Amino acid sequence: MPPFWTKNVVFFFFFLFLICGSSHGRIFSFKMHHRFSDPVKKWSEVAGKLSPPPERGTFEYYAELADRDRLLRGRKLSGTDGPLAFSEGNSTFRINSLGFLHYTTVKLGTPGMMFMVALDTGSDLFWVPCDCTRCAPTDGPAFSSDFQLNMYDPKGSSTSKTVPCNNTMCAHRNRCLGTFSSCPYMVSYVSAETSTSGILIEDVLHLKREDNYQELVEAYITFGCGQVQSGSFLDVAAPNGLFGLGMEKISVPSILSREGFIADSFSMCFGQDGIGRISFGDKGSPDQEETPFNLNPSR
């Protein structure tokens, strides 16, 4: 167990009192004190090992309690059996009319809206079309009647929040208009003249446990509100968004791991018929074979 002064974790201090009884033996009792209680405040000032706890009722007080609740909730979720899949299932599929990419269905926001997104292990950001200035059309001969393409509306989701420029996820602060303005993003891809740009949003991604209980999980993730697309994104590639699966902190697997929902891993399998599956937090089996990643950026 870490030291009792560790930040954001509430500990109780125990004092053991030994009461000597008669023939019935000894009785042990404990006196418990909350970290924010008056006795602990006094002990911390004497010991000099605890920073002064925030006053009850202040913003800092409730923020620290919320951080603790989030930590414990994450530990609880990560301790359950079974990796995570999207709320609509773990199936992936290849659509011949939409090029060589593989797709899956995700649900975003409150109420949940469905998006058919391409899966890409070569990039990090998850983005969907949103407040579009230039996006792929949502209908046309290239699209099958088997699926519908949606546009994300930040104002239509009660859980949507814009990511400000002072957020640690904001990588393009030099393009910000101010500290608290919306954080812009811009990603260029290997495909010729293919890019996406817009602003970063935080909202709920709907997931479920892949165990017998199929527990529903709502995870707040950061993603791109893709306002301007170019190149292949205006033709047949990822018309409803792209799900980056890379190793950077902005990728959804990294966010889920950092928040304690899953182990820092995922698996993606493909069949010759174009049908596959994806699971987050899948740590594999003991008898599987492994090969290391080639981390050379040029490859």
pLDDT per residue as tens digits for the range 163-209:
999 999 999 888 888 777 899 999 999 888 899 999 999 999 999 99
Taking the CB of residue 240, how many other CB atoms lie within 10 A of it?
A: 26
Mean pLDDT of 100-122: 94
- For residue 66, what are its two tokens? 């919320």
- The reported pLDDT for the residue numbered 35 is 55
Q: Nearest-CA neighbor of 32 among 43, 41, 40?
A: 40
pLDDT above 80: residue 214: yes
Residue 24 is predicted with a pLDDT of 46
**Does CATH place domain 84-280 in 3.20.20.70?**
no
Show the DSSP H helices in 79-194 as ranges.
Answer: none
Instruction: Give the C-alpha separation, 184 to 201, whole Å.
Output: 10
From 14-28, 31-45, 49-63, 248-262, the region with the lowest mean pLDDT: 14-28
269 against 72, higher pLDDT: 269
In a 13 Å sphere around the CA of 194, the CA atoms on its Cβ side amount to 15
Q: Is the pLDDT of residue 16 over 70?
A: no
- Strands (DSSP E) contained in 195-241 are 195-209, 216-230
| Residue bearing the bigger pLDDT, 174 or 66 | 174
What is the amino acid identity at position 39?
A: P
State the Cα–Cα distance between residues 221 and 219, nearest whole angstrom.
Answer: 6
The residue type of 275 is: I
Across-strand partners of 14?
Answer: 32
The predicted pLDDT at position 98 comes to: 81
0.85 exceeded by pTM: no
State the pLDDT at residue 4.
Answer: 38
Query: Residue 285 has which token pair?
Result: 């089996």
Give the angle subtended at the CA of 136 by the CAs of 133 and 137, to the nearest 5°: 100
pLDDT of residue 29: 47
Burial status of residue 19 (CB atoms within 10 A of its CB: 0-12, 13-18, 19 or more)? exposed
- Phi, psi values for residue 65, rounded to 5°: -65, -40
Q: What is the distance between the alpha carbons of residues 259 and 84, in angstroms, rounded to a whole number? A: 13
Query: 82: phi > 0 → left, psi -120 to 50 → alpha, else beta; which?
Result: left
Across the range 98-113, mean pLDDT stands at 92
**Residue 258: strand, helix, or coil:** helix
Q: CA angle 132-102-85, nearest 5°? A: 90
* Sequence-distant (≥ 6) Cβ neighbours of residue 166 within 8 angstroms: 179, 180
CA distance 241 to 282: 24
CA dihedral of residues 284, 86, 246, 253 (deg, nearest 10): -70
* Beta strand segments in 21-121, E: 26-33, 84-86, 91-94, 102-108, 113-120
Q: What is the CA radius of gyration of the chain?
A: 24
Please tell me whether residue 186 adopts helix, strand or coil conformation: strand
pLDDT score at 76: 45
The label of the residue with tokens 């011949």 reads: 96
